[in-house]
Amino acid sequence: MNHSRTTPSCESASAAVEIAIIAPVFLTLLFAAFQGALMLWTQIGLQHATERAARCAAIDASLCGSADLVKAYAVTQALAAKIPDSSFTLSNASCGRLITGTTTVKIFSTNFTLNASSCFPH
């Protein structure tokens, strides 16, 4: 009778090969998930900032009396996302005070442009 047994060194070598095949795929997917979450977080922060700044511009003249003050207020409302005040623009529209925000997020050496806008009646 021939009883073939695998030796521990053969098993560990096959495990090393399996890990070498699977690890790059797993790490790439994990990194992509983190980058996607970062982009989603930035979009949510941008939307929140535009909503709060449009409301402030429409109802609080002491805190948001000028375009520069509205932009500065929008930056403080961006939920820890790093969005510069130059990303925001304020205008008057038929719906009231309109603020738009645009920023760019770089993922895997590709730039994605994120936009948000909000209007609040006078």
For the segment 51-75, what is each residue's pLDDT rounded down to a tens digit? 999 999 999 989 998 999 999 999 9
Q: How many domains does the chain have?
A: 1
Instruction: Please give the torsion angle defined by the CA atoms of residues 65, 67, 73 and 76, in that order, rounded to the nearest 10 degrees.
Output: -170
Pick out the chain residues at pLDDT < 50: none
- The predicted model scores a pTM of 0.80
- Provide the CA 46 distance to its chain's centre, in angstroms: 9
Q: Is 104 domain-assigned? A: yes
Q: Is 1 domain-assigned? A: no
**21 touches 14 (CB < 8 A):** no
Q: Is 61 domain-assigned? A: yes
Phi/psi class of residue 80: alpha, beta or left (left: φ > 0; alpha: ψ in -120 to 50)?
A: left
| Per-residue model confidence (pLDDT) at position 1 | 55
| Per-residue model confidence (pLDDT) at position 6 | 58
Q: Is 97 domain-assigned? A: yes
Q: Is 70 domain-assigned? A: yes
Structural domain containing residue 47: 8-120
Q: Is 81 domain-assigned? A: yes
Reduced to 3 states (helix: H, G, I; strand: E, B; else coil), residue 27 is: helix
Q: Is 3 domain-assigned? A: no
Q: Is 37 domain-assigned? A: yes
